Amino acid sequence: MFIRIPSAGFAQEPVHEATGSARRVRGAGLPDGRGRASSGAGTSVAGHSHAVPHPPARCASSVFVRGGVLAGKVRAAEGVARRGRRVWGSLLTLAVLVAGLPGVLAEDGAKPRAYLHFRAGEISPQWGVDDHYGLSLGYNFNRILGVEFAADFFERDLDFDGLGGIGEEAVSSFIPQLRVRYPLLKDRLVPYVVMGAGPAVLQFNDRKPDGFGRVIDADVTRAGFVVGGGLEYFLADNIAVGFEGKYLWMDEVDVMVDGVAYPKDLSSFMGALSLRVYFSENYPRPLVEEAPPSPSRLYFGIQYGGAVLTDDRITSNVKLDPEASAWGGLFNQVGGLRLGADLGSNWGVDFALDVTEGNVVVDDIGTVGEYSLYPALIQLRLRQPLGRGRWVPYFLAGGGIMYGEFNDKKEPGQGLKLDAKGVYPALGVGGGIEYFVARNFAMNLETRWIYSWDHAFTVGTGPEEKGDLSVFQAQLGFRLYLLELGKNRWRSEG
């Protein structure tokens, strides 16, 4: 498969409306001897004509890019001539590699627009920060200034001389921030700085053996101050990846252990890989369903929500209960990743990996630890686009495995031997609905019911027992459509 991408443009042409029989949208015409480009951009589908806005017209020289992870990308900006180029685009965020996008303009701009910013701090343990992730909702006013509301979450170990490691402190900061950026390299590479102030909520959790039997109080709220910066690179007109580092400063905390205060400075540096997704493109493109047939498209997605156990009794003496952090005392938090493909308008397939956990309760003993669950399923999706492809309800079903592991032993389980670790079969069924904010960006609501069996538990000196469990999940998320395979009628030339 080859994708034909017009190269750099010359002058901005007016929008034209196609009439008569259906035709494919064509790029700008050949430039004449004086460097002027001829006109032309419009589309008509099934007898209906549509005016299609397009970026600056381009000359006829083209670059052919072979399909796969290699993606050709072309940039145009405000009537200035640009050369077409091919770019290896990849993103590692929340531990997933994301491919580049073919034939898509990629640049920052002066257009006011809102965005979501996701951060995953898998590298943060280098600075003593564990389990860091963050989410921001922001708005660019122009090419330089913007504001955002940033929420960051991480944990720090509580270790003291003479006490040892007594547990962990969860830190949640909620900071309004000013963002100042300065696009470089034809607006594709964007350095920026952020600063702001707001509350930081701290809570003691995950008590360690050195903290068993002690009275510990470390739940406080502090004023937090943030300063930092980042660097990001635009893979598409509305998608950028990069790195962000910022320092959260706050007054030290007095951790009370058996009535004695132990001061602890929990000010922290947060370093994270980042993904920024804008709700609009600089040069809006039509949705794929507006010019059928729809191409096959690869996507990457993130899901987050709640999970409730629908069958919590695993063996004769072991069951699972919601964690202390469960919403409403019922819904355990669950996060997940999606990698998949839409195969035309109605069918799709994806790989779904999720993680959640519950408390392990042993009869006559109590909560002895936690049981982590990692369902990994291959799912078939049946889709039905509505409203010219803006809304897409879907049904899904699939199968795979679930990895389960006992961890984080609690005080009642001290001295108790409990073995529970393995890979088990799993099935899932569910459905959801997507809303396409832009051609390559959809937000979704998804529900699933997952059933897994043969989970093996051995408690103390007793025999190994096997049982099953099931869980219902409800999650919000998004999908980024990364690579189009087949003809893209908005970009094709006839």
What CATH number does the domain containing 466 carry? 2.40.160.20
Does residue 421 sit within a domain? yes
Domain boundary, last residue among 90, 113, 132: 90
Domain range for 51? 1-90
Q: Which of 69, 90, 111 is the last residue of a domain?
A: 90
Average pLDDT over residues 117-139: 85
Task: State the pLDDT confidence band at 291, using cuts at 50, 70 and 90.
Answer: confident
Taking only the tens place, the pLDDT of each residue in 308-358 is 999 989 999 999 999 888 888 899 999 999 999 999 999 999 999 999 999
The verdict on residue 239 lying in a domain is no
pLDDT (tens digit per residue) in 228-250: 999 999 999 899 999 999 999 99
Prediction pTM value: 0.73
- The pLDDT, as a whole number, for residue 40 is 39
Query: How far apart (Å, rounded) are the C-alpha atoms in residues 443 and 437?
Result: 7
Number of domains in the chain: 2
Q: What is the pLDDT confidence band of residue 151, given thresholds at 50, 70 and 90?
A: very high
Q: What is the pLDDT of residues 67-108, one digit of tens each?
A: 333 333 333 333 322 333 332 233 333 333 343 444 456 888
In the chain, what percentage of residues exceed pLDDT 90? 61
Q: Would residue 112 count as lying in a domain? A: no
Q: Tokens 């039997």 correspond to what residue?
A: 213
From residue 394, give the alpha-carbon distance in Å to each of 288, 391, 484.
17, 10, 20
Q: Which residues of 107-123 are buried (b: 16+ CB within 10 A; e: fewer)?
A: bbbeeebebbbbbbbbe
Residue 276 forms part of a structural domain: no
pLDDT of residue 290: 86
What are the φ and ψ backbone dihedral angles of 91, each rounded to 5 degrees?
A: -130, 130
Greater model confidence, 92 or 282: 282
Residue 413 lies in a domain: yes
Helix then strand then coil, in percent of the chain rounded to 5, is 5, 65, 35
Residue 82 lies in a domain: yes
Does residue 426 belong to any structural domain of this protein? Answer: yes
The gap from C-alpha 101 to its chain's centroid, in whole angstroms, comes to 17
Q: Is residue 155 assigned to a domain?
A: no
Among 68, 90, 112, which residue terminates a domain? Answer: 90
Amino acid 327: pLDDT: 87
At residue 13, does pLDDT exceed 70?
no
